[in-house]
Structure 1
Amino acid sequence: MVKPRAYNETSDGELLYWSAQGDRRAFDEIVMRHGSFALSVASRLTLNIRDAEDVAQDAMVKLWHQASRFDPERARLRTWLYQIVVNLSIDRRRRREAVSLPDNFDAVDPGALADEILAKAERDAAVAAALRALPPRQQAAMMLVYEKGVSGAEAGRILGLSAKAIERLLARARTTLREWLLAEHDK
């Protein structure tokens, strides 16, 4: 008797292997495990939630189509998915550089004074604008290292760069942000 597959107890690598053979239930399990992660990464790199949802969905479709190319000896599934999401986000930003406020601004504290609210909103807007003004690769490196806590070497693998190149990207991004924010402050 053939034992049924226990999808929720199976490794990502095996699920992707089954997905490559056309097993939709195996891929559904991958989406359940990693879909919110893809959306989280995409929401940090795109300009609005609709774009983030599109990128996350496109990443999952790409993962499905390229499942046979996954090599668990070279990288974890999450690392590979991260790379796909980052690359799709960068591509989307290059195609459409819309200017909008991020959907994830902090809610206003009703007890705060109006001056504090205004100052915080201005600071948040200045930082968000400065981050959006960075070139896509610098923005991706900043998000990966500072927001997601990924090491420089891991960020390099995700972006297809060396750890040294990531350090240089981060240094340029910090310098650009500092100069941009100081210029905005002096206005």
Structure 2
Amino acid sequence: MTDMPFDDLTQLEDDALLVLYAGGDPAAARVLTARLAPIVHAHAWRLLGDAAEAEDVTQEALLRLWKIAPDWRQGEAKVTTWLYRVTANLATDRMRRRRGGNLTLDAIPEPEDDRPGAEAQMQEAARAAALREALATLPDRQRQAVVLRHIDGLANPDIAEIMSIGVEAVESLVARGKRGLAAMLTGKREELGYQDDE
């Protein structure tokens, strides 16, 4: 356990905080959870399209992180990279189980949006729903690569590490995924209100 002030803990890298947690420092765990839980939840939500399932995946991913903390070796991998990989695997497992059930995209509630203007909200919701629907048609690996690259904003080398593939494979998956999305969304441009956005 460390006697380091809380504000100093917030300045530490993720792997240093994880090592402190493994040594019995609960403050390090609080800082790391506050930092990582929103990232994990956002990624899980983007992959699953369901806030409750994303919350479950977030909890499971963080529990797995706490379990491996005593064995974590600083400098070998980024904590966030490890978490993205675990989150994606957990989400993929849930999507595979879901395919066996009767859940449809229409059954997934739209996220709450506090922006003004009902028309703008409806337009944005329609665009988001169309993107989620199109993403759902992609093979799992393509969807994961596209989400990591274009929604989460990660660089190809980071995605390669998360997905345990080469950078060229990431580029290929992203390119094929984008072509698949374009094909799926062709013809919906006017319906989604993009005719005036050129």
Shorter-chain TM range is: 0.7 to 0.9
Does 1:151 pair with 2:168? no
For structure 2, the 5+ residue unaligned runs are 190-198
1:96 is paired with a residue whose SS is helix
* C-alpha distance after superposition, 1:9-47 (max 9, x if no partner): 232222211222343332222112211111111111113
2:164 corresponds to: 160
TM-score relative to the length of structure 1: 0.81
Distance change in 2, residues 1:183/1:21 (3 Å): same
- Deviations 1:38-94 (CA, angstroms, capped at 9, x unpaired): 111111111310000001111110000011233331222222222222221122212
Deviates more, 1:18-27 or 1:159-168: 18-27
Question: Identity across aligned pairs (percent)?
Answer: 31
Matched AA of 1:99: T
Equivalent in 95, 98, 101 of residue 97 of structure 2: 95
Distance 1:131 1:48 in 2: 14
Distance 1:142 1:150 in 2: 10
Q: 1:102 to 1:127 in 2, by over 3 A?
A: farther
Please state whether the residue corresponding to 1:74 is helix, strand or coil. Answer: coil
- Judged with a 3 Å threshold, the aligned counterparts in structure 2 of structure 1 residues 133 and 111 are, in CA distance, closer, same or farther, namely closer
Separation of aligned partners in 1, 2:29 and 2:40: 14
User: Are 1:125 and 2:129 an aligned pair?
Assistant: yes
Conserved in 1, the CA contact under 8 Å of 2:18 and 2:69? yes
Query: d(CA) in 1 for partners of 2:37 and 2:20?
Result: 18
Question: For residue 109 of structure 1, what is the aligned residue in structure 2?
Answer: 117
How many residues are treated as equivalent by the alignment?
A: 180
Preserved CA contact (<8 Å) 1:83 1:158: yes
SS at match of 1:33: helix
- In 2: Cα distance, 1:9 partner to 1:126 partner: 44
Distance (Å, rounded) in 2 between the aligned partners of 1:86 and 1:102:
21
For structure 1, the residue ranges without an aligned partner over 5 or more in a row are none
Off by >4 Å, runs of 4+ in structure 1: 105-108, 119-124
- 1:66 aligned counterpart, secondary structure: helix
**Whole-Å separation in 1 of the counterparts to 2:170 and 2:45:** 21
Structure 2 Cα separation of the partners of residues 47 and 99 of structure 1: 11
2:61 aligned residue: 59
Q: What value does the CA root-mean-square deviation take over the aligned residues?
A: 2.8
